[in-house]
Amino acid sequence: MKDDIYFMKLALSLAEKGRGYTSPNPLVGAVVVKNNKIIGKGYHEIYGKAHAEVNAINNAGIDANDATLYVTLEPCNHAGHTPPCTEKIIESGIRRVVVAMCDPNPNVLGCGMPYLREKGIEITSGVCEDEAKKLNEIFIKYITKKRPFVILKCASTLDGQIATKTYDSKWITNEHSRAFVHKLRHSMSSIMVGVGTILKDNPMLTTRLGDIKGKDPVRIILDTNLSIPLDAKVLHIDSLAETLIITGDEISIEKKERIENSGKTKIITCAAKNGLIDLNSLMDKIASLKIDSVLIEGGATVIASALKSNIVDKICFFYAPKILGGNDGIPICSGKGFDKIEDSIKVKDIKFKRFGDDLMVEGYI
């Protein structure tokens, strides 16, 4: 006989299908089970649309009566863009609800499960809780800390360099690593680079998933002095996502107006320190725009600034089996580092993934 863990893992795999489309809502999956058979499936497919529980119950139809609902996140008991899921559960005749994790939203914490219990529905919670929290690590930070979840990504040679002395970096990693990075872009609300990357590489900063239509992240360009060229690709690409240029206070008003009139581009001023954008202040501004996550893609100055500002939650460092063999290339981080090893930034919960000959190190700050 299949157990609660089996069915919850199926619900978790369904939730994953919504990645990239539900922000700033969480990823949620649900299955309806009766007589040890799945009779309904659903997941939260897109922000503002029906929640996972509603889709699963609708999929099950009248057979949902007296069945068990497995859901990866505590059912909501408040009205938002959609009615409360608890009412749908009660109306369906579901007799038991199995939940992976409580809703961390401080405004609704713990109100869904007690309400269902009051209505005579049996509740089991904490099934695959760790997996559910990992699935929604972005949502959990954003809803509890009111700050975006930040992933720092870089691609390096084995001797720790992200480009040669001539700034050549195409391509350090292989096509399998680059394909994974595009999936990562699709899953994040925004992507952030410094204007140096724009000047050297002129990237589009879009998501390219082959035959699958992906979601472009909001493009965030750190450009203290507004030195971005007017013909930069990020200012003119055909994308549903906008471009945000983050500047200091002293910029050309004429150039600002020309850029903002050229397309889906906004210029946002932010406090600066030592000629660089204050990234802690910027995170507050980004959160206020309902951007729940940031993928930082370098280069060396931005990577160093992000780490020193303590805004990074997670790293994805890609290492290719290549050695530049000198000290005149571009290192992962630029500027002054720590004086002592004991003061260095610690990375925990390390995982390794292979992409062909490349190795990705994933961990949490």
Q: Which residues are catalytic?
A: 53
DSSP string, 218-264: EEEEE-TT----TT-GGGT---SS-EEEEE-S---HHHHHHHHTSSS
Task: Give residue for tokens 């997996």.
Answer: 131
Q: 270 and 248 in contact (C-beta within 8 Å)?
A: yes
Give start and end residues of each alpha helix (H) in the chain. Answer: 4-16, 52-60, 85-92, 112-118, 129-135, 137-145, 175-187, 195-201, 253-260, 279-288, 300-308
Q: 272 and 278 in contact (C-beta within 8 Å)?
A: yes
Local structure of 201: helix, strand or coil? helix
DSSP annotation of 215: P
Neighbours of 365 (CB within 10 A): 16
* 120 phi, psi to nearest 5 deg: 85, 15
Interaxial angle between packed helices 85-92 and 52-60, expressed in degrees from 0 to 180 and rounded to the nearest 10: 20
Distance CA 272, CA 256 (A): 18
Distance CA 39, CA 199 (A): 55
